[in-house]
Structure 1
């Protein structure tokens, strides 16, 4: 089933949220340590994915050009504006943080990451759900931590996560009809490596080492497609 990875992902988010609501008295020190552990795991996954590249120069070009486009478009700023708009539209809880706060925070963490894009494309192109399942496990643990402090709003993030990943997956199933297999494999390897660097950035942000605007790197995925196509047909 082509949407299996996305379904597992949202189920783990919901389960993690429900567990987190029963663990709302977790000591702050423990939450911090678990979040560091999640960050380290994300960094490790990103580094592993980066080694998929056969042409590291393509990865560098894609990251740099993608960052320039993302900064010019201010993708990170626009996503934050969307979060504030949702915060105003959704009703607040009577006690503790509003539902919107948990929803917006979780949505940004679960959707903005390039792992969602790469995993969804992998599911569509190769029926390989490993990346989305790994993402689901990470999202599940993150949901436990977030919902223990931000409430049930975290669970509602499962809706945009599923819609976002399902659209990308279903679109990806049609790519093989128009793209030669060798070009497709070339694109997958370089896209995986480029996305891996973005995932490293997400992990470093979770640990607190950096405050990268990772969303502004996302256009790099499109740049990979352009550069790989040029290299394939010219060389």
Structure 2
């Protein structure tokens, strides 16, 4: 699991550096960082969505997934519970930054395929590449939201660790078709986080997380 450990370490290091820099940035420039992070997340989400949409074999599946997943997440009040939890650790709007970080760090193709490649073939290339991207992203997020962004490193470690340990069973199930559908929804969730940061629309992205499970259930039935 060396690749996952490096990826997690990159997020922790980036969070520490960004948090330290944050103390020397006045409020006006922190606002600039919020805007930059919001635009970046929105752009990355749209890029992921547009890049995978043409390859979808089930073009309506992502709509059904978002509808069903959002209803389930709202019923469970995932967003409220998440913000209540993060509110214990910070008086700032940490929940928004942390949810964005988790989306960016965990639901990209590299973060899912990386642990599988590492487990089955001992190849950490995907994870090392992901670590570089996550280092820069976590540094930017922490400079805006504080050291609490480091919590997303723990989430990433558990996420990639579970995939690494279950790679032998998952390798045959995580087909390119399923990855395409998950990536489409992941792109929408990342873009949604960006819109929330920019204060354009609070979509309560955490409530939409169950949407990622719908394609998995669909492919299990298939």
| 50-59 vs 61-70, greater mean Cα deviation | 50-59
For 1:65 and 1:161, how far apart are their aligned partners in 2?
Answer: 24
For 1:226 and 1:157, how far apart are their aligned partners in 2?
Answer: 29
Q: Do the aligned residues in 2 keep the contact of 1:194 with 1:220 (CA within 8 Å)?
A: yes
Secondary structure of 1:113's counterpart equals: helix
Select the structure of larger CA radius of gyration: 1
Once the two structures are superposed, what CA deviation does each residue of 1:135-183 show, in whole Å capped at 9, x if it has no partner? 4422221112333xxxxx437526523433333432452344553xxx7
| Aligned position for 2:144 | 145
Q: State the shift of 1:45 in Å.
A: 0.9
Secondary structure of 1:187's counterpart equals: helix
Structure 1 stretches lacking a partner, 5+ long: 88-99, 148-152
- The answer to whether structure 1 residue 108 and structure 2 residue 98 are counterparts is yes
Q: State the shift of 1:216 in Å.
A: 1.0
For 1:103 and 1:33, how far apart are their aligned partners in 2?
Answer: 17
For 2:158 and 2:75, how far apart are their aligned partners in 1?
Answer: 23
Q: Do the aligned residues in 2 keep the contact of 1:7 with 1:162 (CA within 8 Å)?
A: no
Structure 2 stretches lacking a partner, 5+ long: 119-125
Q: State the shift of 1:200 in Å.
A: 0.5
For 2:91 and 2:162, how far apart are their aligned partners in 1?
Answer: 25
Question: How many residues are aligned here?
Answer: 208
Provide closer, same or farther for how the CA distance between residues 214 and 132 of structure 1 changes in structure 2, counting only shifts above 3 A.
farther
> Which residue among 168, 191, 199 is the counterpart of 2:182?
191
| Aligned position for 1:174 | 168
| Aligned position for 1:164 | 158
- The answer to whether structure 1 residue 31 and structure 2 residue 30 are counterparts is yes
